[in-house]
């Protein structure tokens, strides 16, 4: 193909220009590449009974249904039912986010470690894709990459494993586990379409009964847990995994690291009840007493 003259792409394009138009008349497969298949019922050996066997249900095409075992209780009926998948469509799902991926996003500048990291930031960076309509309730931190993790961040996820919390706190960061009900989650991951609707930012709902225990536990860094107990839990975790807990109060980014959302707040800095006007770049706040009382409860 590559002669003395043109090579590569130029050669290929020259060929395209000089050769006649491709049509069915001048296309054919490479000789020897397409061998005719052996068909059933043709020839001396594949003819005669045509691969159907000798007499009986096989030759006459009257075999019983799939799974029938000649009258013996078939396997699929002899095993009792058990609800392995019962309620699978109601179960809460948390998309995993490994520390390796988080470090990769920070290294490539898609996630800003100098600002608090939220599910909105992670979605904007295309690090995770959350589908609230598929019963996704958020993101969980997973340990993969705990040994290479080296970033000081203030991250808010929905669940975090113990080793992942330890890895982040070892580098001087802060982890919080917080709950978002499906409506708030949809707003959190797609804030712009929500603002364009012109509706006031709703209150974030509190977790359901079975999750209250998880989010009030300091060892999970739940957002409803007692802050003093959280501090104790940080020390305990440091002792368990054998690292010295860096003092964040002396850090220059302490203010950013200690930023937390109110349990009823969806976005940082924006309170429930406000309407965001994207076109005029303004925020409208209610003044009616009843509305203020409702939104601040």
Partner 1 sequence: MEGGGGSSWGVHSVCQTPPRDPPPYPAVVESTEEFHFVERLLPPACVPSPPQHPSYPTPSGWIPPRVPPPALPYHVGRSRMHNLPLYRRVANGNRRITELRRIRGDIWALEKELREFVGQRVGKQPLTQVNELSGTLRLKGHVDNEVRAWLLLKGF
Is the Cβ of residue 231 or residue 291 nearer to partner 1 in the bound state?
291
Judge whether 170 and 148 are in contact, CB under 8 Å. no
CB of residue 187 vs partner 1: minimum separation in angstroms?
10
Give residues in contact with partner 1 (CB under 8 A): 2, 7-9, 11-13, 100, 103-104, 106-110, 115, 120, 123-124, 145, 148-151, 191-192, 195, 267-270, 274, 276, 278, 281-288, 291
CB of residue 277 vs partner 1: minimum separation in angstroms?
8
CB of residue 148 vs partner 1: minimum separation in angstroms?
5
Is the Cβ of residue 145 or residue 202 nearer to partner 1 in the bound state?
145
Neighbour tally for 144: CB within 10 Å: 16
Residue 221, both tokens: 């860094």
CB of residue 183 vs partner 1: minimum separation in angstroms?
17
The DSSP-derived string for 175-226 is: EEE----HHHHHHHH-HHHHHHHTPPPPPPPPPPHHHHHHHT-GGGTBTTS-
Is the Cβ of residue 78 or residue 297 nearer to partner 1 in the bound state?
297
Quickly list H helices, 20-160: 43-46, 56-60, 75-78, 99-107, 119-124
CB of residue 225 vs partner 1: minimum separation in angstroms?
25
Rounded to a whole number, what is the distance in angstroms from the first to the last CA of the chain? Answer: 77
Judge whether 121 and 77 are in contact, CB under 8 Å. no
């Amino acid at each position: 193909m590559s002669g003395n003259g043109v090579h590569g792409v130029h050669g290929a394009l020259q060929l395209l220009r000089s050769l006649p138009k491709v049509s069915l008349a001048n296309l054919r497969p490479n000789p020897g590449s397409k061998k005719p298949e052996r068909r059933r019922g043709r020839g001396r050996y594949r003819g005669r009974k045509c691969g159907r066997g000798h007499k009986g249900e096989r030759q006459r095409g009257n075999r019983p249904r799939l799974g029938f075992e000649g009258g013996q209780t078939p396997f699929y009926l002899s095993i009792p039912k058990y609800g392995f998948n019962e309620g699978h469509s109601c179960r809460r799902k948390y998309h995993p986010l490994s520390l390796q991926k988080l470090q990769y996003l920070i290294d490539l500048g898609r996630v800003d470690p100098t600002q608090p990291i939220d599910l909105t930031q992670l979605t904007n960076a295309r690090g995770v894709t959350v589908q609230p309509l598929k019963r996704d309730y958020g993101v969980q931190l997973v340990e993969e990459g705990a040994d290479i993790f080296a970033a000081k961040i203030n991250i808010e996820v929905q669940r975090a494993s113990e080793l992942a919390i330890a890895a982040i706190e070892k580098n001087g960061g802060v982890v919080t586990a917080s709950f978002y009900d499906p409506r708030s989650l949809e707003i959190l991951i797609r804030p712009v379409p929500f603002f364009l609707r012109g509706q006031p930012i709703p209150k974030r709902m509190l977790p359901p009964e079975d999750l209250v225990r998880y989010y009030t536990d300091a060892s999970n860094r739940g957002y409803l847990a007692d802050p003093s107990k959280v501090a104790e839990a940080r020390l305990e975790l440091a002792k368990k995994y054998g690292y010295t807990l860096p003092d964040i109060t002396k850090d220059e980014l302490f203010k950013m690291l200690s930023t937390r959302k109110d349990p009823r707040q969806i976005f940082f800095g924006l309170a429930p009840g406000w309407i965001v006007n994207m076109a005029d770049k303004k925020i409208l706040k209610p003044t009616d007493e009843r509305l203020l009382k409702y939104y601040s409860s």
